[in-house]
Structure formats: C-alpha cells, structure tokens
Amino acid sequence: MAACVYIPVQNSEEEVRVALDQLPRDATDILDILKAEQAPLDLWLIIAREYFKQGKIEQFRQILEEGSSPEIDEYYADVRYERIAILNALGAYYSYLGKIETKQREKEEHFILATQYYNKASRIDMHEPSTWIGKGQLLLGKGDVDQAFAAFKIVLDGDRDNIPALLGQACVEFNRGKYSNSLEMYKRVLQVYPGCPAAVRLGIGLCRYKLGQFERAKQAFERVLQLDPENVEALVALGIVDLQSNEASGIRGAMEKMRRAFDIYPYCATALNYLANHFFFTGQHFLVEQLTETALAATTHGSTRAHSYYNLARSYHTKGDYEKAGLYYMASVKEVNKPQEFILPFYGLGQVQLKLGDFKSSLSNFEKVLEVYPENCGTLKAVAHIYLQLNQTTKAHEALKKATRIDPRDPEGFLDLGELLISSDSGAALDAYKSARNLLKKANEEVSIELLNNIGVLHFEKGEFELALQTFKEALGDGIWLKLIDTEPQSDSIGGSLSDPIRNALYQPIDSSLATRKYKDTQLFHNLEKNGISVDLPWDKVTTLSNLARLFEQLHKTETASLLYRLILFKFPEYVDTYLRLAAIAKSRNNVSLSIELIHDALQVDDKNPDALCMLGDLELKNDDWLKAKDTFRAAKDASNGKDSYATLCLGNWNYFAAIRSEKRAPKLEATHLEKAKELYTKVLVEHPANMYAANGAGVVLAEKGQFDIAKELFTQVQEAASGSVFVQMPDVWINLAHVHFAQGNFPLAIKMYQNCLRKFYYNTDNQILLYLARTHYEAEQWQDCKKTLLKAIHLAPSNYTLRFDTGVALQKFSASTLQKTKKTVDEVRATVAELKNAVRLFSQLSAASNLQFHGFDEKKIETHVGYCKHLLEAAKVHCDAAELEDQQNRHRLELARQAAIREEESRLAEEQKKVKLEKRKQEDELKKVMQQEQHLERIKEHWKSSGSKRKDRAQSGDEEGGGERRRRKGSSKKRKRDKKTETQMDDQDEYEYDNTTTNYYEPENQVNNQVNDDADDPQDLLAAAGLEDSDAENDPAAPSAGRRIRGWSESEDDEAEKRPPSSSPVKDNSVDMQLSEGEI
C-alpha cells in the first residue's frame, strides 16, 4: 500500500489525502493546499523529504524555503521545533551543495546560505542539539575541524549519548589523524545503539585500517557486508585490504570486490580508480580512460579526483602523448592540497616536463618529491640529469653520489655516475663503471657490451693498454676476431701448406703489385667462408671491435688492426669510420694514393661526411693541390652547416699555410690570409672554448704577427690541457712554444722545449726538430752543441744535404769565433784547424754534388765558403805559432811557480816541525816540574808525620820533670823567636805555593831545596805555624794561653813590619789570616 499523508481541512473534519508516491511535478499545488489549510509544519517536512528521496531537488527546496518564509514564521510563531527542523534541513542541503561544488565561488555561496539558515534556527532556540550538529557538519565540510569539534562538544556536554554528535566527533578525530580516539567514539555509538546502521561499523574498519590493524579492519568490513551485502564502501575497503598482501590471490580477490562494487554502483569513484589502476598494468589503456573519466564525473572529492587524473595522465604518458599527460598530471597536482598527501603526480609531471625540455619546471616538481622522500634514488638520478642539462655539474655529481650512497647495490646509479664523470674525471668514471660491473656480476646479471666498451675505452685513455685489451675481449666474447688476433706467422708458413685454414688464408703468398692495396682486400673473408669457417659479426659488437682495432693501432700492430677493420667492412660495408681508419694507416705508411682511394670509398657511402672530406682535404694539401684542398674544406664546412669545428679549423689551417708559402709570399696577401685564419680560429673558440687545436692555431697567427707574449700564454694553456691524455698528442704546441722562446731570445728555454718534445713524442729521432735545436744552439753561440745536433740529424737523414751545409756553416762560424778571441789556447787553435778542414771537406762534397739545384744550393756560394775556410786555415797557422809560443812561455812560468811553491812548502813544513819539537820539549819540562813538586809535597807530608810524634814525646817528658816557671818563660821566649822564624818561612812557602798554582813554573830549583832545609831545621815550628801542633800541649797547665800567644805574635809582627819591605802579593796576608783563624780554633 502506497504511503500517504492527510492534510486536515480547516474548519472541517475532512482531510485531503496526498499519496507520497504520486506527488505532483509542480510543487505549487501542494504548497497552495498546505497554506490554505494551514497544515502543520511537520507535514511540510514529510512532503519535502519525499520530494528529496525522489530526486526532485527543486521541489524539495521550494517547499522548505516557503516553509521558512517570514509569513510562515509569523503565523507559526508558537511552533518552534518544526520551524527549526525546516531551517536545519535547508542548512544541511546547502552544506551538501557546498561540499560537492568544485568552483570556489559557488562553494562559498552555498556555505554562506547554510550558515544563514543555521543561525536563523539558533535564534529560535540556541540550545537545540540538531542545530549544533548541523553547524558541526557545515564546519567539517568547510575544513574548520577545531570549530566543528567545539560544536559537537556542546551537544555532547548536554547529552553524552547523542549519536549524531558522537558520529560527528568521530569524523573530526579521524580527520585530525587521531584514529584511536575516533575508534573509541565509534565503539561508543555501538554501545549506545547496537542496532545502528552498517555505516558505523564501516567507520570502525577505516580506523582499524589506518592503525595498521588490517585483520581487524577486514573483520569490520566483512561485518558491514553481512549487515548490508551491497555496501559499496565496504566492498571497496575490503578490496583495498586484500591489495595489501601483494600476492596474486589477494590482488585477484581485490579486483573481484572492485568489480562487484562497480556492478552495484557504477559511479563509485574509488572503485573506478582502482579498476583503472589494474587495467593500466594490464595495458588496457582504453578501459583506463573510460573508468577515470567516469570517476571524474562522479566525484568532487579532491583526493579522489587527483587519483583519477593521475591514472588518466600516466595512461597517456605510457602511450607517448606527453602533451595530454602533462595536462592531466597538472590537473592532478591542482587537486592535491599538500605534496605529502599524494606525491605521484608531481613525479609524473616532472618526468613529462623533463621529456619536453622544461628543465626548470621539472626540477621544481622533483624537488617537491625529494621533500617528501629525500632518499628516493630514482628522483635523485632524475634531478642529477636535469642539473647536467643546466650545466650544473657539481650539483649533478652530488645528487648521483647521494643516490649511490643510499643504494650502493644499484648498478644503474653507478652507470649514471660514470656517464656524468666521463667527460670531466675519467678516473672516477672508470671506478663507477667498475662498481656497476661488479654489482651486475654479483647479481648474476649480464654485463652489457656498452658498459664493458666504456671501461675499455677509459683504460685506453689512461694508457692501460693491457687492461683495455682484456676488457674489449671480454665484451666481444668468442668469434672470428679472436682467431684473427691470435694467429701469428711462422717461419715455415710462407709459401707452404698450413694445417690451420685461417693461417693459410692470412699468410698465403700474394702478388707484389697487390701488396700495397691489401687494406682494401676483403677476399680473405670470402675464402674463409668457402672453407666453412663462420665469419659472423653481430651489429652490437661493431663499435667495440672498432675500438679494439684502434687499440692495436696504438700498440703499432697495424696489420692486426687492418684485419679487424676489413672484417667490419666485410660485414658492414657502410661503416664509414672503418674506411677512414684504414686511410689513416695507409697515410702513416706514405701510401697517399691508397689513402685517398679509401676516403673516396667512404664518400661513396656518405658523400657529405665531414670527417672524410676534411681528411681528403689534408691529403690534397699534402700533395700541394691548394685550390682543390680549399674546395674540399669548404664542402666539409657546408656539409655540417658550419657546425663542424674541424672543417672550420682545416680552412683556418689552409689560410695560414697559404700566408707563409715562400714561393708566393706577398705582404698584402700574407696579411689577408693571416687575418682570415685568425677569424676562423676565433670562430671555433667561440663555439667550443676548450678546442685546443683552434687555440694553437690562434697562437701561431699571433706569433706570426709578432705578439709573442699573448701567443706564449695561449701555447702554455694548450700545452697544460693536452698533457695526460692518450688521444691528445700535440707536439706542435711544444714546437710552437719553443719557437716563441727562440724569437724572444730566450735560448735556454727554447733548447729545453725542443729537447722535451723530441724525447716525449719522437724518441729523439726527428731530424726537423733536430734542425730547430741546432739553429737555437747556433744563435746561442753554442757551436759544439750545434755541431753534435746536426751530426745526429745527418745520421738520421743522410740524404739531406741541407743538414750537411748547415754543419759546414756551424764549423766555419765556430772556427772564426775561436780565432777572434783575444786569448786562446793551442788546443783551441788546433781544434779550430781540424774543424776548418772538416768544413772544407763538407763544402767540397756539396760542390761536387751533381744535383745542387735540386737541393737549392748555389755553387758560387759554396765556393765562397770554401775560400773563406781556406783563408781561415792560413790565418790559423799564424795563430797556431803564436799560441804555441805563448803556451811554451806559460808552461815555463808555471814550472817556475811550481818550484817556488815547492820550496815555500818545504820551508813551511820545516818551521812547523821546529815548532812541534819546541812545544813537545816545553810540555816535557812542565811535566817534569810537576812530578818534582808532587814528590816534594810527599816528602813534606812524611816529615810532618815524624815531627808530630817527636813533639808528643817531648811534651810527656816535660810534664814528668815538672820544670819551673823560668824555664818555661825562656822556653816561651825562645818559642816566640822560633815562631817569628817559622812565620817568615811559612809566608815564603805560601808565596811559593801560590806561584806554583799559577803559570810561574820556572822558579830556581835551589829555592825549593832551601825551603826543604828550613823545614827540616825546625819541623815543630812548621807544625805550629800550620796549626798542626800536638793537641796534648793544650792540656799542659804551664803552656801559654792562646790570647797571650797572639799578642806576642802581634808585637813581633809590628817590630818586623818596619824592617820588611811591603809585599805586592795579597796571598801573604790571606795566609796570615788563615793561620790566625786556625790558631783560634
């Protein structure tokens, strides 16, 4: 039975029955009835809600807006709840419109209307919970999470079990990222209302998923499906959980759930995006585009739309439509508020912009990716590539180094690093390539031929030829080339039968007329194929095989190199570089005609090949075909539209050589050609500032103009840049720098530069540079060095008569300069005569030569040199006689001086011997005196010991006899006399000892003997004077006191002072003082 409502008729018991499933399309009729019958406002709400359910939004809005008009408000002023319900319904409607609106202006307008209705409802009853819940939903839609939380909290403070407020609060916490709090809110809703809709459990599952509890989340989603089997959100969420397993079964199950959700509701944007993602990986781009376009039409959610645009963009990206891909990537980026939310479109947009050449925009997007994932190696490598394109090599190097440091097991990172460094740091590039090779080998992955080829080339550049050879062989693997390399001729192989068919084909006899053209011969390989030997060469090994042949060229194994080049031509006859290398080999062997023929073969393959044209021009210039060479160089320049720097250089060289041609040298023409050459060299330098050959040419032109300082600076820079590379061999710059030093008169530096160039590049075997060196020695007046250098050059080029002439001139100049010296020895004059004879012989040989005009010599000039040398020989005889006479005189003077020196030396030696003897005698006398003094001291000591014992005996006998006072006085008187005598003797002895301690060792010997005799007369007095008298005497009661004895000494000294003359030595007084002090002791 269809639902219906009954509108009571005013002032009657009748009712108007309105079937809800048959509501009129025009809501005006219903509104007229509701107004006329003054129907209750709850009926207005029921009818409006039914219109909304039927999708008749305009009628829904019309009824509610009429129900909230001022007239209705005035009439139903006492009805509060229904009025609030109508206003809240309008507020919720406009809140919904604001959420789904994509245009910002309309969105804001909808939100403003919703706010107005909610505020009007609040004015009716500000405590109504439904109004606050509606406000919270509005604020949540606007993104004002904090105010939404406050609105829901107001409701929950009044009713903590209010389910809509709890659900709103759970949404707020979920948007805040507080999934645990949100989960608690949803659980509380279940506790309050266990029969709540399945969508509540969907919220629980989403919280569990965000918390990483995938199994619990899966259980929640499955419970939702049990309650509502057609719940699209639960199906999609369950599919996303299945995708987390990364297993085939899980992915299949997830896609089944997404298809089921799509069948239930074809406009679920999330399901559409996941299905599009699946079909992208299966390559069904048509389905991807359809699904994403449907998803974009079905949703206004920013994040969901960003995923849809991203799927659509990468579909076009994969198909190569970079313009559309960039547009959709940009649309996806615009839907993302922060890169952290969805970073993939930034990465895709950076890739597309990099492909389209918009490096700065691409770099900006990749940098945003690095802000979120700073250690993403793919992004770091992309950023390094962009920096390299922007010529910021330092930043590119840092980015790649960081990538290899983050993932040291990524061979691609090391490959990119090697490619970056190969032009700036070959050593570091080689290390990076080796690391990549080692990583690939450890992972049991195949090492590409390109990688091994690059490693071999870098070894080649560093001069590590053995390592380069091993690497090239490893890159090439097995093949016919190994047999060609390893096959060597044997002594019995020429003209005989060989068991090895390859050796037989290689070394079979050939016609001598064809020997010079063997570099074009490929019949060898036809013969090998006839013999059943496979001559196969894969296309991807051609470059490596060519590099291997180039290595053999560098090792001077040109035959092996030519075999490999011919093998390449046999399989790939359009490989132009091989013709050019064979032409270079022929040119190095002076087979110019074959070289030109090979270049013509290359031009038949590519008639506008600049390298071939330039090489042909060089050969034509060598053949002195100037006009033809100029046309060839112009053709090379035009073939590259002026972009080939080598062709421009060749034209510059042509103009320079045209300027210095001796047979057609004119000042105006020379200046014109030099200026043109300078212009061409400068043009190359502007386009390629590091071009060393252009800089060298510019330096030569400046030197020709006399600007030596600037030219020298240029040559020095080129020399420094050319050092250390196998591929850059520039002896010319060394020679030019030496020429500049020569022109500036700096001959020592010029000589050093020529010698270094000879040793470094020509192994001291280039006669032309030897001629430059001889000229420098000649100008520096180093005649002997000049002669030695020219003789060495003649040894290298015996048919060069110019060297012989120059040698004769050097000998002539040496002889003339020697004879002009004011002082010269006989040996110098004799050497001059010998050199003059050699010069005469050389000039006579040149005069007798039949081809003088061919070598450019004038017979009259040679005869003049011969006559001058003979004149010098005659003058040398006079100089020789004078020198011999002077030499004899010098020898006589030297002999006399030598004899005088010998005599002087003999007298000096005799004097020294005499002094030595005197000194020795003096030392012996002094030693003898010292020994005598030591013996004398020993005797004094022995005498003192014996005197001391006698004194003691005498004292004992005196005590026993007990003599009287008078005897003692006499003894005392007598003792004072002896003391005076002893004092005098001690003074003399002290003076004598002092003199002995100084340098006066020549005192007469009898003085010492007298002293000894005096001491022997009265040893007791000597003991007393020295303070060594017998200690027992102090115990004698009749002995005089110390004070009395000192007084007696003092009186006697005063008496003696008048008689003695004053002493000049202070030692005596000191001795007396010492005696007094000893006496006191």
The mean-pLDDT minimum among 56-65, 302-311, 764-773 falls in 56-65
pLDDT tens sequence across 707-746: 999 999 999 998 888 876 656 778 999 999 999 999 999 9
Decide if pLDDT at 965 tops 90. no
Decide if pLDDT at 981 tops 70. no
Decide if pLDDT at 27 tops 70. yes
Q: What is the DSSP letter of 499?
A: S
E-strand stretches of 326-404? none
The pLDDT assigned to 665 comes to 61
The pLDDT assigned to 17 comes to 80
The pLDDT assigned to 431 comes to 92
pLDDT tens sequence across 432-463: 999 999 999 998 999 999 999 999 999 998 88
612 vs 797: CA distance, rounded Å? 33
765 vs 601: CA distance, rounded Å? 34
In b/e form, how buried is each residue of 29-62, taking b as 16+ CB within 10 angstroms? ebbebbeebebebebbbebbebbbeeebeebbbb
Dig out the tokens for 505 from the structure. Answer: 């084909």
Contact between 815 and 832 (Cβ < 8 Å): yes
The mean-pLDDT minimum among 148-152, 565-569, 950-954 falls in 950-954
Residue 18 backbone phi and psi in degrees, to 5: -120, 115
User: The tokens 């009749």 sit on which residue?
Assistant: 1038
Q: What is the mean pLDDT of the chain?
A: 80
Nearest CA among 297, 307, 303 for reference residue 275: 307
Decide if pLDDT at 608 tops 80. yes
Mean pLDDT of all residues in 409-422 = 89
Mean pLDDT of all residues in 621-644 = 85
Confidence band (pLDDT; 50, 70, 90) for 861?
confident
Decide if pLDDT at 856 tops 80. no
Decide if pLDDT at 82 tops 70. yes
Does the pTM surpass 0.85? The reply is no
pLDDT tens sequence across 758-808: 998 888 889 999 999 999 999 999 989 999 999 999 999 888 888 888 998
Decide if pLDDT at 548 tops 80. yes
The mean-pLDDT minimum among 268-282, 627-641, 645-659, 857-871 falls in 857-871
Share of the chain above pLDDT 90, in %: 29
Query: Helices 767-779 and 801-819 sit at what angle, rounded to 10 degrees?
Result: 20
Contact between 749 and 741 (Cβ < 8 Å): yes
By three-state DSSP, how is residue 273 classified? Answer: helix
The pLDDT assigned to 973 comes to 46
Share of the chain above pLDDT 70, in %: 82
More confident position, 248 or 984: 248
Dig out the tokens for 864 from the structure. Answer: 């003049």
The pLDDT assigned to 660 comes to 83
The pLDDT assigned to 542 comes to 93
Decide if pLDDT at 197 tops 90. no
More confident position, 1007 or 434: 434
More confident position, 855 or 659: 659
Confidence band (pLDDT; 50, 70, 90) for 956?
low
The pLDDT assigned to 626 comes to 85
Confidence band (pLDDT; 50, 70, 90) for 1004?
very low
User: The tokens 């006698």 sit on which residue?
Assistant: 950
The pLDDT assigned to 500 comes to 62
Dig out the tokens for 920 from the structure. Answer: 């020795």
Mean pLDDT of all residues in 498-515 = 55
In b/e form, how buried is each residue of 553-572, taking b as 16+ CB within 10 angstroms? beeeebebbbbbbbbbbbbe
More confident position, 1032 or 538: 538
pLDDT tens sequence across 233-257: 889 998 888 888 778 888 888 889 8
The pLDDT assigned to 730 comes to 86
The pLDDT assigned to 1039 comes to 39
The mean-pLDDT minimum among 154-163, 530-539, 664-673 falls in 664-673
Number of residues that make up the chain: 1081
Mean pLDDT of all residues in 343-370 = 93
Q: How far is CA 561 from CA 489, 519, 551, 553, 581, in A?
A: 15, 10, 8, 6, 9
Mean pLDDT of all residues in 819-829 = 75
The pLDDT assigned to 739 comes to 95
Confidence band (pLDDT; 50, 70, 90) for 1062?
very low
Confidence band (pLDDT; 50, 70, 90) for 987?
very low
Confidence band (pLDDT; 50, 70, 90) for 322?
very high
Rounded (10°) CA dihedral 130, 132, 137, 139 = 160
